[in-house]
Amino acid sequence: MPLRSLLRPDLDDLEEYTPVKPYDVLAAEIGLPVELLVKLDANENPYGPHPAVREAAARAPLHIYPDPGQLRLRRAIAAYANVEPDQVVAGTGADDLIDIIIRLVAPPAVVIPTPAFGMYRFLANIMRARPVEVPRRPNFDLDVVAIRHAVQDSGARLLFLTHPNNPTGNPLNLSELEALLALDAIVVVDEAYIEFGGQTVVPLIASHPNLVVLRTFSKWAGLAGLRVGYSISTSELAAHMMRIKQPYNVNAAAEAAAIAAIEHRAEIAEHIAAIVAERDRLARSLAGFGWIEPYPSVANFVLAAVRGLSARDLTAALRSRGILVRFYDRPDLRNCIRISAGLPSDTDRLLNALTELSQ
C-alpha cells in the first residue's frame, strides 16, 4: 500500500507557514559572514537576553522533566501580569497557546482579520478549522460589522485579534473589541508586542469570560530561541487548556529563563525603551525618503509601502547587502516591507543602503 494513502489527503494542499531562518543559514545563502548580517526580518530583540537570564537557563536542571503544573512559572507570570496564577497557562511560545486554543474549541471555522500573523491560519488549517479572513479597513482598523457577520455566518466560535497587530503595527480600538466580545465566540487577543506599546486588555477578562490574552517572552525578553509564551484567561478556561496541553511543553531552561527575565524586568525595560526609540527614528527616517510610506506602529517594527519601485526588488537588493527585511505582496498588502527595530547601528546600515538605492 502506498504510504501516501495512509496520510490525511486534506493536507496535500496545506499552505505552509513561511518561517524565518537563523543567522548562519542566511549568511551561507547570501554568501556573507554572519557578523555582516543585519537581521530585521523577524521582530526579534537585537539585545538578546539579560546576562542573568542566560545564567538561569544554563543552571536549569536538564536531567529531570520540567514541572507539568508550571507552578513557579505561572506564579511569576501572574505577578508580572497582575492576575492570579490559575489564570495563566505557559507554552512553547505563544504559538503553542494558539494551537492549544484551536484544539480546545475545535470550531468549524476561525475568523481572522487580515493582514494577520500567519500562524493562526496555518494552525487552523491543520485542525480542519476553515480560516475565514476578513480584510481590515485601508488604515488597518477592524471592520467590526464584517467580522460580526463572518463569525455568525461561519459558526466560527473563535476569533483571533492581535494587539498591536503584526504586520501592520496598529493597536486595537478598545470599544471595537468590546463590541466583538459580545459575540458567541472565544476572542483571542494576541499581545505578543504589548511591551512596546498599546494598553493591555487583560482587565477586560473579569467582565468577559470569553476573552483570552496571549503573550510571549520572544520579543521583550529576547527569548525567541527558547520558545516560551503564555495565555491569560479566566481560571476556568485556563484549567481546560492545562488539561490538553503537552504535559512538559515548557522546557526546564525556558522556564528558568522566563522567571529570571521577570525578576530582571526593570533592567530589560531599558532595552525596550531603546527599541521603541529606534522604531520611531526608523519610521521618521523612512518617511524622509519620499518613496517609502511607513504606517504608524506601536510595536517593535514598522510596516512601509514602497512607491514607484518593486518591494520585492528592494528586499532582494537589501538582502544582497546583508540587510534582511520582510517583504509582502498580497491582495491586502500590496508592495510592502516590514522592518524590525534593531540596534542604532542596524538602522544606520539600513538607511545608508536605502540612500544608495535611491540614487
Ligand X SMILES: Cc1ncc(COP(=O)(O)O)c(C=O)c1O
Q: Which residues in this chain contact ligand X in the complex, by CB under 6 A?
A: 43, 93-95, 117, 162, 166, 190, 192, 216, 218, 224, 229
**Cβ-based nearer residue to ligand X, 328 or 353:** 328
**Cβ-based nearer residue to ligand X, 87 or 218:** 218
Give the torsion sign (CA, 230, 256, 43, 342): positive
Q: 270, 294, 161: which is closest to 220 by C-alpha?
A: 270
Rounded to a whole number of angstroms, the minimum distance from the CB of residue 216 to ligand X is: 3
**Cβ-based nearer residue to ligand X, 161 or 311:** 161
Q: Which residue is nearest to ligand X (CB)?
A: 93
**Cβ-based nearer residue to ligand X, 94 or 354:** 94
Rounded to a whole number of angstroms, the minimum distance from the CB of residue 348 to ligand X is: 25
Residue 164: cis peptide before it, omega within 30 degrees of 0: yes
Rounded to a whole number of angstroms, the minimum distance from the CB of residue 326 to ligand X is: 10
**Cβ-based nearer residue to ligand X, 111 or 354:** 111
Hey, how many other C-beta atoms are within 10 angstroms of the C-beta on 303?
A: 26
339 has which bridge partners?
302
Rounded to a whole number of angstroms, the minimum distance from the CB of residue 45 to ligand X is: 11
**Cβ-based nearer residue to ligand X, 220 or 321:** 220
**Cβ-based nearer residue to ligand X, 228 or 353:** 228
- Contact between 160 and 190 under an 8 Å Cβ cutoff? The reply is yes
- Contact between 178 and 211 under an 8 Å Cβ cutoff? The reply is no
- Contact between 207 and 66 under an 8 Å Cβ cutoff? The reply is no
Rounded to a whole number of angstroms, the minimum distance from the CB of residue 218 to ligand X is: 3
Rounded to a whole number of angstroms, the minimum distance from the CB of residue 359 to ligand X is: 34
**Cβ-based nearer residue to ligand X, 93 or 171:** 93
158 has which bridge partners?
186
